[in-house]
A and B are shown apart, each in its own frame.
Chain A
Amino acid sequence: MRKAVLLVDDSAMMRKVVSRTLKMAGLEFEQVLEAGDGAEALTCLRDNNVELIMCDINMPVMNGLELLQRIKEENLAVGVPIVMVTTEGSEPQVRQAILAGAKGYIRKPFSADHIKNSVTPLLAP
């Protein structure tokens, strides 16, 4: 079993849905850490080591793209794959997220297969 995943979304319901779908995709983590916005996620990353970050884009306080920038600036979560999970998903936004350091992009609604196919190749064996 893998160690820890960080789920960042302002919707508690969506954090639960992502957590459940990761399990359904066969990706089980000992610890599921949650943050309601980018600022909470930064605090969490300063105190914890995670193997995967799943992050929404549109959030209050600090959105997902700002979070990517801050992770880079503070040299946090080096080498940890960050997958954006969002309702938005236009080409420019995907490009922007990838340029800012995201390794993958999943559009809501998603199935366990979407998660498995997008996330598994990014994780260390």
Chain B
Amino acid sequence: MSELLVKARPYSLEHFLSNENLELADETVSEVFRTLLGFTAEALSASDAQGVAGEQNGRTAIVGFSGAMRGYCGVRLSSPAACAIASAMLGGMDIDEDDDSIDDGVGEICNMIAGGWKNRIPELSSRCSLSPPTVISGRDYKIHTVKPSVTVERVYKFDVHTLRVVLDYEQRSAEMGDPSVTPSSCTGELDRIAS
């Protein structure tokens, strides 16, 4: 009797940086916005994305990946954009900018984008887990990861707002030219971190 050993392929940095990966991210964001919120979300070209100002006073939701790929999915948007998302989730209900349901809504959208993206990748679907979402609000903050990583960033337009999606891939030692470890920190003026 022969025995068949199936070895799962690791998810490579090359695959992460491919155009196919960007298309999967676009497909996922488009599906989440269309299905749940009734918005059309379109990816901006790299040159158009450069023209989009950074969100000065906004929210960032983060969902971590562990298992076959380590890293995170981040969603960054302005407070009015976050409000528009929460309002759409509730069927168009008016929401104040300090309503707790906004963080909750942005965290769930990030969770769905992270899950939808990794479920589209056979090497990750059942071999990569998601952390619960964390939502940060404040201004001028930057997020630094503990280990060297590579990020892919995309800006999407929906309604009159924009949404920045960051996918972060933590490099394995074999993929690193420089194995030095950078410290983890979050700098800037933080209002709140909720998870």
Contact = CB atoms under 8 A, between A and B. Distances in A.
Contacts of A111: 35
Nearest to A9: B108
Interface in B24-49: 31-32, 35-36
Contacts of B108: 11, 13-14, 17, 108
A93 B112 contact: no
Chain B: interface secondary structure? helix
B14 to A, nearest CB: 23
Contacts of B112: 87, 108-109
Interface in A21-38: none
Contacts of B149: none
A58 B112 CA distance: 12
A110 B111 contact: no
| Dominant SS among interface residues on chain A | loop
Contact of B126 (A20, A91, A109): A91
A89 interface: yes
Interface in A51-71: 58, 60
B90 interface: yes
A14 B105 CA distance: 8
Contacts of B91: 20
Interface in A80-125: 87-93, 107-111
Contacts of B132: 10, 58, 60
A16 interface: yes
Contact of A89 (B90, B114, B119): B119
A92 B101 CA distance: 32
B36 A90 contact: no
Contact of B115 (A12, A60, A88): A88
A95 to B, nearest CB: 10
B32 A11 contact: no
26 contacts: A10-B132, A11-B104, A11-B107, A12-B104, A13-B101, A13-B105, A13-B108, A17-B90, A20-B91, A58-B130, A58-B132, A87-B114, A87-B116, A88-B115, A90-B125, A91-B125, A92-B126, A93-B126, A107-B119, A108-B108, A108-B111, A108-B115, A109-B36, A109-B112, A109-B116, A110-B36
Given A12-B101, A20-B91, 7 more contacts: A20-B90, A88-B115, A88-B129, A90-B119, A90-B125, A107-B119, A108-B36
